[in-house]
Structure 1
């Protein structure tokens, strides 16, 4: 048996057809093939699942109870499998406390760095704080006041209550403190106890009287230290030093061993790493509790449609039954203040809107009404109601930094933690490489700086140099999150581990792909095995061993088409190998095709300055296929999604999310609608599936209701819906599975024992259409359904569109939550294509990386679909890195030149051929290589 190979025998997981495969260890293994051909089934559900399962079995029973259970994959035998780590294209983080800094552990090292060498500053006056030891203070006194007598004491405020005061003074006297300084004069406690009226001036109790020697090496240092500690203990952390002058005792200085401000004597606690964490009460901002924002009433949510007037119910919460009386008060207030209640809200003056929103005189205003509601937020219905109209706004105390004043007052090289958090990874790398430290500081934090530089360098190398540490992890794309995990894994230094990666090149510009490959090489060189599911031809050409799955998708896939070395693969006659060899030629043909005529209608955006955009002007041709390109973080999504889409959505729909800043927009009059086709899931429950999403299930239910058996039993279309009680299984309520509450563990879903996962009652399942029941139909693939529903034109038209976008392998009833981001996006494309062909007007379609998860021939199909949209009078903008689609575009807008603060400008515009001929960076450089190099 070859111990240098992972041996798989008779693998039958999902659609895999009893395949045998030997995979070399300590190499980069690329698994490629069409969507649904079994790549993920092989890589994740077989190799990763078995590697994890066997590793778990090696742990103790106690440890295993806290870990996720992995089912053994369907295979005859799997040999020589090392422990596995999966890095998937899914971002599971939903917690707003998680940031890039916390996810990469960079924040942990920054906190250690600030603990070790951070300089605290006074928050009140900005002076660097100091820490003075007892020995240093004694040396100073001996130097400045040699042979003079000083008093060591502590200040105490005397209470007004006579009985409490007497008790305190008697206690002090019994403890051996007999003298006190009041108004620079010495008085005894015995005499003070006999006085009825006591001085109100501060009292300084004398702890010790000490004659200072001429040398600090004196044995008096021990006595001085003990007396100072006693004074500090009784004086709430502060001791007083006094000296006699002209018969009076004057204060020399106050002393504390704690870090303090020499100017205003403010004391701060000892620096601890935990006190620099916004996830700890010790470091978190007191106002926002470390979230960086607070929930405030959002005017955009309160007034979702600015076209409405106040009298028409522009203030949405006031239209609800529970707050309708406030609508009456609002209109009465507007009448008093002479605010036009029939004018659209968007046309009201700023002063009028401020009065309505914040209140004026006797009217509470919208915000005041919500303040009243918050007094009853212990009620569930109030909390739910208020949540509809609030949004997170930057905390006014910490200004979004999440940290409290004490943590922000500590600096390294004149930078506090918040300033470092707001730097990009690339900027931080430069900061630490140029950081100047003393020899002592350098020795203290040598290991910390090594770890910081290693992690930052890795993140920068995988194309994430534009991210800031403050960026919330939940806002990252699946590809960005995967690369963060990749960078973290490289920093761990694991060996003899099998890493399974899902399309790590997604979201990467060709320039960044080369950097990614160097990181993967480093991971491999540490003695690890890489199994990578990939479609990018450059990554496939880089791999050591290639596995090609196919030939088709779903039931037509699952076969091993090829496995062998890179050299063997590139000479193989298979479709995928041919596509890898010829992809540059195909791109070259696209570049040299006949250029469409210059558009006459343009969407003109002026002064776009959201996020990192640098006040740019962009003209986007309409009735064209436009690709917006650039390196990761260059501002593509900010320009197209946050600016163009949100502004047009507000214009056409009257509502939108937050719109990025821009000065003006023109040309929108040529459009009638805007649609964003992203990769968000089509649904979170098993009730959402491809058939329901394209509005095809109604037709299927009607067909079953029209059968003789259904009409005899008086079954209507509702009986064939898993959302209606009349026909669905009542045990699982049409889910096909039931949830078992595991109390202290994660809930478990099991197949419904009543309907055996078929969702419907037996009487409904007995009804057949062309010898198939409703469960059989839902288990059909789209390809099978297309052939089955011959003669049902409207349904076949919808199914044809799904096949056209490469989804023929999906089951009609496949739950929406199980679809990948790319599959969900293509479902949306098919739906929009169906609607676009049946509606008039010109719609602007915006797609964010539609080639995600697509094989070469599937990308060609997608290009054809997008061209159909353009040919019917619509406009398409794609944010894309795939050169196959970029070359096929009519017009390119290239942003850059770098990511983050180094991006945000328009680098080049024009047709793909124009950018290639001029070799314009960054994208043009790669187009030039395709056009002119073999």
Structure 2
């Protein structure tokens, strides 16, 4: 690349057929009295020609735009790269926009929470996760070989006796009533009136090589009869009533208190969307986001808490956050996009700002640097 930009015969507007050399990779200021051609040289000559050449290099589709871009009135410009122009114009700020939204960083942050965030219950704070059959099987097969398991489907207590009679006709043989194994075909009537929980026994097996298919089929049946809730009991050796229990849900519901959770979409984290927006109130802490929107966490922080951090702290947090293995690839790809933009803002001296900073509170100089960071960071 040439060490300088060489302009010959520039005649745009007030420029009088001037020749000029501008050093590259340096901070260059164009000064002069009003009407001397400063903007004509910077914007209407250098920027216009750099943009025109860049679009021309993109191919036939992009050339359709060239009809709207006239070639500057200049004999030649050598050493010119693709250009970015940040003009001295008032920022398009609004009370509903923030530093994060006008730079596009908030869009990536919302995507990060959708793809890599951990949903928690708005009522009790427990983690909520929807498992696929394959994920449940994979987790169970991590248990030691020869582990005995009982696959269960929790049943509703309403009209339980009629349900159990129907299940017996379908061929199911056992249930667990408050943790005790009971035969459905028992001659004595089942004591279920005072039961606090009833679980249908789907299968009993020992984990070993070749068991995956049978285990997957049992999990599928349990999900069908248990309203997408699956329990797996691991009996303690020599103790039929002991052991521990694992629970899985195929839907977004809290296994601790039963509260349902919303579908996680980008709109859930938008204070400009009906899905996520609420009016400022003590409960939302000024974040303008509903409680379910703040129940999705990354590293123990919701999206409002991360946007309230100074940019320098946000960058440090995201760059060093250890994503879970199943979220690592997509999480790190999105963080790369966020970090690139935040890095540019840091280099422009904006690292003291936070992404939730209202755009109407930015000074003129801050807004100019934000616009420059947006252009540089998106490339």
Could you state the TM-score of these two structures normalised by the residue count of structure 2? 0.68
1:134 alignment partner in structure 2 = 137
8 A Cα contact 1:7 1:21, kept in partner: yes
- Aligned-pair CA distance for 1:67: 8.7
1:476 alignment partner in structure 2 = 362
8 A Cα contact 1:155 1:235, kept in partner: yes
1:256 lines up with 2:249 in the alignment:
yes
Structure 2, unpaired ranges of 5+? 186-192
1:155 alignment partner in structure 2 = 155
8 A Cα contact 2:312 2:351, kept in partner: yes
- Cα distance 1:410–1:247, how it changes in 2: closer, same or farther (>3 A)? closer
2:100 alignment partner in structure 1 = 101
1:34 alignment partner in structure 2 = 33
1:224 lines up with 2:215 in the alignment:
yes
1:209 alignment partner in structure 2 = 203
Name the CA distance, whole Å, in 1 between partners of 2:156 and 2:67. Answer: 60
Correspondence 1:337-736 to 2 at 5 A:
394-395=280-281, 398-429=284-315, 431=317, 435=320, 437=322, 452-473=338-359, 475-491=361-377
Name the CA distance, whole Å, in 2 between partners of 1:239 and 1:30. Answer: 69
1:88 alignment partner in structure 2 = 87
2:7 alignment partner in structure 1 = 7
Name the CA distance, whole Å, in 2 between partners of 1:116 and 1:468. Answer: 23
8 A Cα contact 1:181 1:203, kept in partner: no
1:21 lines up with 2:12 in the alignment:
no
Query: What whole-Å deviation, never above 9, does each CA across 1:308-339 have from its counterpart, x for those lacking one?
Result: xxxxxxxxxxxxxxxxxxxxxxxxxxxxxxxx
2:121 alignment partner in structure 1 = 122
- Aligned-pair CA distance for 1:40: 1.4
Correspondence 1:257-336 to 2 at 5 A:
263-264=256-257, 266=259, 275=265, 277=266, 280=267, 282-284=268-270, 289-290=275-276, 294=279
- Aligned-pair CA distance for 1:419: 0.8
1:648 alignment partner in structure 2 = none
Name the CA distance, whole Å, in 1 between partners of 2:361 and 2:67. Answer: 26
- Aligned-pair CA distance for 1:235: 3.2
8 A Cα contact 1:258 1:269, kept in partner: no
1:855 alignment partner in structure 2 = none
Partner SS state of residue 30, structure 2:
strand
Partner SS state of residue 224, structure 1:
helix
Partner SS state of residue 209, structure 1:
strand
If asked which structure has higher relative contact order (CA below 8 Å, sep 6+), I would say 2
8 A Cα contact 2:151 2:222, kept in partner: no
8 A Cα contact 2:249 2:255, kept in partner: no
Query: What whole-Å deviation, never above 9, does each CA across 1:355-414 have from its counterpart, x for those lacking one?
Result: xxxxxxxxxxxxxxxxxxxxxxxxxxxxxxxxxxxxxxx256644324444442233343
- Cα distance 1:260–1:450, how it changes in 2: closer, same or farther (>3 A)? same
8 A Cα contact 1:287 1:397, kept in partner: no
Partner SS state of residue 152, structure 1:
strand
Partner SS state of residue 470, structure 1:
coil
1:235 alignment partner in structure 2 = 226
Q: Kindly report the root-mean-square deviation, in angstroms, between the aligned alpha carbons of the 2 structures.
A: 5.1
Name the CA distance, whole Å, in 2 between partners of 1:11 and 1:457. Answer: 39
Partner SS state of residue 68, structure 2:
coil
Query: What whole-Å deviation, never above 9, does each CA across 1:8-59 have from its counterpart, x for those lacking one?
Result: 425141xx05231233363443211123432112211333233334444555
Query: What whole-Å deviation, never above 9, does each CA across 1:632-684 have from its counterpart, x for those lacking one?
Result: xxxxxxxxxxxxxxxxxxxxxxxxxxxxxxxxxxxxxxxxxxxxxxxxxxxxx
Name the CA distance, whole Å, in 1 between partners of 2:324 and 2:232. Answer: 35
Name the CA distance, whole Å, in 2 between partners of 1:482 and 1:68. Answer: 29
The number of aligned residues is 358
- Cα distance 1:442–1:22, how it changes in 2: closer, same or farther (>3 A)? farther
- Aligned-pair CA distance for 1:470: 0.9
1:750 alignment partner in structure 2 = none
Name the CA distance, whole Å, in 1 between partners of 2:316 and 2:31. Answer: 38
Name the CA distance, whole Å, in 2 between partners of 1:397 and 1:122. Answer: 16
8 A Cα contact 2:9 2:18, kept in partner: yes
Query: What whole-Å deviation, never above 9, does each CA across 1:343-366 have from its counterpart, x for those lacking one?
Result: xxxxxxxxxxxxxxxxxxxxxxxx
Name the CA distance, whole Å, in 1 between partners of 2:301 and 2:240. Answer: 49
- Aligned-pair CA distance for 1:449: 5.4
Could you state the TM-score of these two structures normalised by the residue count of structure 1? 0.32
Structure 1, unpaired ranges of 5+? 160-164, 189-198, 295-393, 495-934
8 A Cα contact 1:5 1:24, kept in partner: yes
More helix by share: 1
- Cα distance 1:103–1:45, how it changes in 2: closer, same or farther (>3 A)? same
